[in-house]
Structure 1
Amino acid sequence: MRLATVRRGGVAVVVALTDGGLRELTGMLPDPRTAVDPFVQLIEIIDELDPDVIAAQPLVEEHVSTFAPLVPRPGKIVAAPVNYHDHQEEMKVAGNVSALGFFLKSPASVLAHGGTVRLPYTDRRFDQEGELAFVIKKRARHIDPGDFLEYIAGYTCLLDITMRGGEDRSTRKSFDTFTPVGPYLVTPEEVGCLDDLTLRCSVNGILRQDADISDLIWGVPRFLSYASSVMTLEPGDIVTTGTPAGVGEIAEGDVIEVSIDRIGTLSVTVSAQGAVECPTEGAKSGPRPPAQVTPVRRRTSASELFNVNTFC
């Protein structure tokens, strides 16, 4: 099942992609009149959705709708820092996710597929980071890694746009528009085994990142389990798993695409319109990515190197 949020006439509606087109699911929500995010309402009942009932819902004409952020108002965005060994190597940092844990991004940073990333400053470097992400479907605390699928509504593509420098991670990654996500949420049974997935990210059609999801240092079960041991996760929260090597600078006019097998392709453009000088002094500190994009290369998977159990 593929689900999304689209904007039609200025109103956000939840839809499912079917063979017959986009079907509006408003009529299937428990109470569409409440202020609760309709997408969050939908994923709370996702296990009860009947494909035959979905196929009978009204069609949404695609030419009069545009994608909205997949989860327009996530409660929180939980992100994995340095979760691929090749990214740790290219950034020349000592610690990875095993030492760093996670960081939070502002919920206001979400951006829809087809949207525009807006760079805030003229004198700072900004990079693209393509990632696999997932959305929580029910309240979660102290999850056993073996039970991870009980808490995942589905998977999606995400870009963690990053300002380089010495400011706190959450600051450098939380500007408005710095978390493009989507276009669709794809349910676990349609995605299948995560170890079979490959992530690719390109800028202006040039491949920058190419990695197997099995290369994650902490796979989805372990990272989700850890995050839930620190805080309660709620329906609609977005969890993103980190980026592989190949991060690189982005600028005005760039087109960024992230593709993941069986999940889809997220595409956004970049604008520097309205950018100003940065008021903070972090530009000359913090981890420094290479001046040139790390060459794309295939590597032995982390599951082979470290015998990581990813629970396929």
Structure 2
Amino acid sequence: MKICWFNNNQLGVVVNDRVYDVTAALKALPAPSYPEFTGDLVVANLPALRAEIERLLPTASSEAVADVRLLSPVAQPGKIIGVPVNYQAHVEEAQRDVAIFTNRYTGGVKEQGLFLKANSSLIGASDAVNITMPERLTHHEIELAAIIGKKVSNVTQAEALSCIAGYSIALDMTVRGPEDRSLRKSLDTYSVLGPWLVTADEIADPQNLNLHLRVNGETRQITNSSQMIMFIAEQIEWASTFYTLYPGDVIMTGTCEGVGPVVAGDTMHASIESIGEMHVKVTGSKG
């Protein structure tokens, strides 16, 4: 099932290039309690919610995907976790160009550690990445995003993939410079998630998906998730030793070689096999 948020915070299901409005299914959600934190309410209750969605779907109104504004498919993630330098060719790319990537990009993924991105940086596929620091380089990084489906801590690799609610395409936008990753990757609009959440049951093998990113029609990044240094199950195991993971937490699982600059006026086309594609515009000052 492809689940999205669209237009005026409506819940949708995507079938054959149409978005079906199943917002009424939200009535089946339990009332949230305060101040107890349980993560994203829709993701946390997705198994039960799917039954109500399927009941409503035959009579739901629909619009063409091209005619709606797609918001982030996770409305309220507790945290966005980044996995650095997780493809060997990107490690080598960073080592070749220390002037751009800085000496922070040295050592393996476990030596460098995970990083967090601010939730306020999150946008959906129909929104634009807005460059507010044109005097500095902004780079694109396409990544497979795994969305956690239940509260877990100290999970094993064997159990890890069963903790995933679904997958999306992510763009981990980055301002280059000497500061910590969490600062440079947390600008407003610098975390793109979309175009929808594909439930985990529709992805036969998340470690064998083709990723492709073009800018203005030119291929910049192309790889397969099988080329990750640290596979997704190990990422979840590792992350859950540091943090309790909650429903709706997003793990951006790392990018491949070919990262490069974008400027105002560019359009990024990101696609991942079995998930879909999205066109994301870049706005802001051209410097």
Q: For residue 237 of structure 1, report the CA deviation from its aligned partner.
A: 1.0
d(CA) in 1 for partners of 2:17, 2:258: 38
AA of the residue aligned to 1:21? R
Aligned pair partner of 2:57 in 52, 55, 58: 55
Percent identity among equivalent residues?
32
For 1:300, the equivalent position in structure 2 comes to none
Output the TM-score relative to the length of structure 2.
Answer: 0.87
For 2:76, the equivalent position in structure 1 comes to 73
For 2:102, the equivalent position in structure 1 comes to none
Cα deviations by residue, 1:16-52 (Å, 9 ceiling, x for unpaired): 113593222332233487699xx93332222232374
d(CA) in 1 for partners of 2:57, 2:75: 24
AA of the residue aligned to 1:183? P
The 5 Å alignment of 1:89-168 reads 89-92=92-95, 93-168=105-180
Output the TM-score relative to the length of structure 1.
Answer: 0.81
d(CA) in 2 for partners of 1:126, 1:35: 40
Q: For residue 57 of structure 1, report the CA deviation from its aligned partner.
A: 5.1
Q: Provide the aligned C-alpha RMSD in A.
A: 2.3
For 1:245, the equivalent position in structure 2 comes to 257
The 5 Å alignment of 1:1-312 reads 1-7=1-7, 11-19=8-16, 21-29=18-26, 30-31=28-29, 40-48=40-48, 49-50=50-51, 52-56=54-58, 58-62=60-64, 65-92=68-95, 93-273=105-285
Q: For residue 266 of structure 1, report the CA deviation from its aligned partner.
A: 2.4
AA of the residue aligned to 1:123? E
- Contact 2:20/2:63, CA 8 A, preserved across alignment: no
Per the alignment, in what secondary structure is the counterpart of residue 56 of structure 1?
helix
d(CA) in 2 for partners of 1:265, 1:56: 25
- Contact 1:258/1:267, CA 8 A, preserved across alignment: yes
d(CA) in 1 for partners of 2:275, 2:116: 24
Per the alignment, in what secondary structure is the counterpart of residue 229 of structure 1?
helix
Structure 2 unaligned blocks of 5 or more? 96-104
d(CA) in 1 for partners of 2:232, 2:198: 15
Structure 1 unaligned blocks of 5 or more? 277-312
Cα deviations by residue, 1:83-105 (Å, 9 ceiling, x for unpaired): 11100000004312121120000
Paired residues, number: 271
- Contact 1:208/1:246, CA 8 A, preserved across alignment: yes
Cα deviations by residue, 1:99-153 (Å, 9 ceiling, x for unpaired): 1120000001011112111111131111100000011111111111111232111
